[in-house]
Chain A
Amino acid sequence: MKGRLDPRRIGLSLVAPVLALVFAAVIAVVVLVVSGYSPKSTITQMLDYSAQPRTQVLIINTATYYYLSAVAVAIGFKMNLFNIGVDGQYRLAALVAAAVGGNVALPGPVNIVLMILVAMAVGAMWSGIAGVLRAWRGVSEVISTIMLNAISTAIIAYLLRPGRLAVQTQGSNNIGTKPIPESGRVGGISLIPDAGMKVFGLIVVAVLVGVGYSVLLNRTVFGFDLRATGGSQTAAVASGVDVKRMLVVAMLLSGAVAGLVGMPQLIGQSYSYSLDFPTGLGFTGIAIALLGRNHPVGIAFGALLWAFLDQSSQILDLEGVPKEIVTIIQGATVLSVVIAYELVRRYRLVAEQRNVGKALGETAEPPAVTTGAPA
């Protein structure tokens, strides 16, 4: 147990994200100063704005779908699979689920469950294509999911037309799927008083997904095989793991979770898939999964941080500061967090070698830092 709860070890793994955040903040301050804005008032405005109850609800809601998206990406990461296609998977899944929910007249709860299952199935099917291509045809999942993203954009554009799946939204020139009936909606939870709006009811699903992800990875044979295959494919094969099957199953799971990404928004707020349904959440998920190191709790913090940056920056445009400063912070965070993890890893390697040296009573200094690198 010492390995897991060693305070030094925990400290070291916290150093990297903290360092990275500080570094990203420094970059943001420099950019603001150079372009003639006051960093102090910018930060104060963001903090003040995020202290309002309404903003806090928005932060939690945004974090909900960011979390789902990041877990979907993380499942792939655990297996060394890079599911860039979460974006296409959740949009297609949300569209089909919305169409089903709007057109099928089933009693409330059944309808909700049906929509969720349809979304998971569509997401899994879409990512499964990439999984099968990877397992049996050796096609890099990075490329195939990029292609599938583009294809799903085209399919959505095709389906989301009046006469196909879409109807004119009343009182605007937006079009969307037929609204989900009253009974098929999930009400919000009044988590924060005086906010004037509620937290997504489907935050429960996000929590369940997080718990499920954690249990799956750490408490099941499948999770063990998954991590083993991700760690070393040859070792996994030697211990009897069917790697091709694992590739496909991991991709299917990732896609199924990706299918859920649009659900809190769909069933909890917009009730229909329209032209202004949020896009690009899949790419955010990649960044957050990296930030949280694929750990279920780490991802939660990452999602909250990302949502905080996104929502609290909404005030900035009103104050004349381009709110894209936040995107710069986010990009810098991703880059610096991985660099920080690498530096910490190198430091830890040297330290471990030194400890081994000490314990054996031999050379106190490791022979060469550089030999530790091959991953």
Chain B
Amino acid sequence: MSVVTPTTVSPVPAGRPPRPGAGNVRRTTITIALAVVGLILLLSVVRKLSGATDLTAAGAISAALALAVPIAMAGLGGLWSERAGVVNIGLEGMMILGTWGAGWAGYQWGPWAGLVAAVIFGAVGGLLHAIATVVFTVDHIVSGVAINILALGATQYLSKALFEGTEGGSTKQSPPVHPDMGGFSVPGIRDPLASIEKHGWFFVSDVAGILRGLLTNLSWITLIAILLFPLTYWVLWRTAFGLRLRSCGESPVAAESLGINVYRTKIIAVVVSGGLSGVGGAALALAASNFYQEGQTGGRGYIGLAAMIFGNWRTGMLAAGSALFGFSDALQLRGGGSVHALLLLVAIIVILVGLWQLYRRRVVQGLIALLSGVAVLAYYLVSDQVPGELTGALPYVTTLLVLALASQRLRMPAADGLPYRRGQGS
């Protein structure tokens, strides 16, 4: 979405302080609503032009949501940690711990125990990271890399020790979790929406398909994950604790001078971060499948980190970034012509961004964007389909492009990743 309406990318433009108040909130709501409507319109246009009905089909949307959840949870974990000033590249490892915990507790005591165990296992990884970075001021990235190695080794070791020889389990996989966790549907909307969707009307059917995908057959973990977003926003931006936590990320020395226990705040933030990554792991082991499997995370922790940066360290844009990754993942899994149609979507968006940049008199960036957009469009027109192996790279290429074109607008917490020791300011 950031690409569609660059005006909404940064809620706090440089040099203009945010104005808390009703007017601002209303303006933001309107721009978000416009952006959503614009995006759906764009999707409808692309669907009509390319004939790829899968783009807004309920199945694709619901798969996209399920695939976005693990990424979003890792990203939310990264948000907590980095807002408190600790860079967390160990999200991947904490997520691995989460998947293992979910499988291990899940097959013995059911899926809800699995979820709890996933949170605890992830939080333990977070605690380790917190001790290393906050207490021992170890370089944050180094500690994160070590945790990723450690988590991989520990789960592989434990799987061999505990899952081998169990019924349905092996050295690389936990026994299946029974019963299924179940899910949730908004009652009474499935059939009406499905019938609207079938007609293939411009815009209306797209809206129906998206709504049906978003509101029916949600797994409980997906629902919890969605609720964690407003909760995180409320805690971090609307409570005293959140203000303190963010102040530790911006200027720990100033926070300390106001009597905040910076160590404790940072440790809490990183432990929560680990717990959230654990939820992401649980989504993989309990909702996307029903067992732990080696390599299940597949680098989603790193992608979550990218989604967070993509989202400028804010909850709303993080959700949008995760949705982008989830959406292109889902289309890729479903195959067919929809990925090819995605090229058209990307081309249109990039060209729009280019025109916008030219309008803003940023000639070089505008021209680069225009040229890349035209190149993608040309590729779309001359090709019949995208090679399956390459579509996997689409979200990563998109992230690189966004970072390259918009990185100047991104602002990370000022003291993110810097070592801090009590009393260093005096």
Query: Which chain A residues have a beta carbon within 8 Å of chain B's beta carbons?
Result: 31, 35, 82, 133, 137-140, 142-144, 146-148, 150-151, 153-155, 157-158, 161, 283, 286-287, 290, 322, 324-332, 334-335, 338-339, 342-343, 368, 370-371, 373-375
Say if the beta carbon of B146 comes within 8 Å of chain A.
Answer: yes
**3 A-B pairs with least C-beta separation:** A327-B153, A331-B150, A154-B393
Report the minimum CB–CB distance from B256 to chain A (whole Å): 11
Q: B301 to chain A: closest CB distance in Å?
A: 10
For A325, list chain B residues within 8 Å (CB): 153, 157
Contacting pair B407 A151 (CB below 8 A): no
| B-side contacts of A338, CB under 8 Å | 132, 136, 138-139, 142-143, 146
- Hey, which chain A residues are within 8 Å of B146, CB to CB? 287, 331, 334-335, 338
Contact call A327/B423, Cβ cutoff below 8 A: no
From known contacts A322-B156, A322-B160, A324-B160, infer whether A143 and B150 are also in contact, taking CB-CB under 8 Å: no
User: Within 8 Å CB of B389, what residues of A?
Assistant: 154, 157-158, 161
Q: Select one of B154, B160, B390, B403 contacting A144, CB under 8 A.
A: B403
Task: Give the complex CA separation of A293 and B181 in angstroms.
Answer: 48
In the complex, are the beta carbons of B149 and A150 less than 8 A apart? Answer: no
Choose from A327, A342, A368, A371 the contact partner of B157 (Cβ within 8 Å): A327
In the assembled complex, the Cα of A161 lies from the Cα of B397 at a distance in Å of 22
Chain B interface, DSSP helix/strand/loop, else mixed: helix
**Partner pick for A374 among B141, B306, B396, B424, CB 8 A cutoff:** B424
Report B336 CB to chain A, min CB distance, Å.
Answer: 18
Whether, in the assembled complex, B13 has its beta carbon less than 8 Å from a beta carbon of chain A, the answer is: no
Main SS of the interface on chain A? helix
| A371-B187 Cα distance, complex, nearest whole Å | 62
Q: Report the separation of the CA atoms of residues A375 and B143 in the bound assembly, to the nearest whole angstrom.
A: 17
B408 at the interface (CB under 8 A from A): yes
Question: How many A-B contacts are there with CB distance less than 8 Å?
Answer: 151
Find chain A residues with CB under 8 A from B309 CB: 140, 143
Q: Are the CB atoms of B142 and A290 closer together than 8 Å? A: yes
* A27 and chain B: residue at smallest CB distance: B150
Indicate if B17 sits at the interface (CB-CB under 8 A): no
- A306 to chain B minimum Cβ distance, whole angstroms, is 11
17 A-B contacts (beta carbon < 8 Å): A35-B157, A35-B161, A137-B403, A143-B399, A143-B403, A147-B400, A150-B303, A158-B389, A322-B156, A327-B153, A328-B157, A331-B150, A331-B152, A334-B149, A338-B138, A339-B136, A373-B424
**A115, B51: Cα distance in complex, Å:** 46
Q: Are A370 and B136 in contact (CB under 8 A)?
A: no
> How many Å lie between the Cα of A44 and that of B148 in the bound state?
28
- Whether A143 contacts B305 by the Cβ 8 Å rule is yes
State the Cβ distance, A148 to closest chain B Cβ, in Å: 8
Query: Shortest distance in angstroms between B359's beta carbon and chain A's nearest beta carbon?
Result: 21
Q: Tell me if B145 and A286 are in contact (CB < 8 A).
A: yes
Task: Please determine whether B400 and A283 come into contact, CB atoms closer than 8 angstroms.
Answer: no
- Give CA–CA (A375, B422) in the complex, Å: 14
A342 to B143, CA, bound (A): 12
User: Given A139-B403, A140-B309, A283 and B149 touching (CB < 8 A)?
Assistant: yes
In the bound complex, how far is the Cα of B309 from the Cα of A153, in angstroms? 22
B419 within 8 A of A: yes
Contact check, A287 vs B149: say whether CB atoms are below 8 A apart: yes
Find chain A residues with CB under 8 A from B137 CB: 342, 373, 375
In angstroms, Cα B152 to Cα A310, docked, is 15
Asked if B403 contacts A335 (CB within 8 A), the reply is no
| C-alpha gap A77/B244 in the complex (Å) | 33
CB <8 Å contact, B400 and A133 = yes
Complex-state Cα separation, A82 to B140, whole angstroms: 12
- Report the separation of the CA atoms of residues A332 and B149 in the bound assembly, to the nearest whole angstrom: 9
CB closest chain-B residue, reference A150: B396
- A142→B392 contact, CB < 8 A: no
Residue of A142, A335, A368 contacting most chain B CB atoms (<10 Å) = A335
Distance in angstroms between the alpha carbons of A133 and B393 in the assembled complex: 18
Q: Does B387 contact A (CB under 8 A)?
A: yes
Instruction: Known A142-B141, A147-B400, A342-B137; judge A154-B392 contact (CB<8 A).
Output: yes
Q: Which residues of A contact B305 (CB under 8 A)?
A: 143, 146
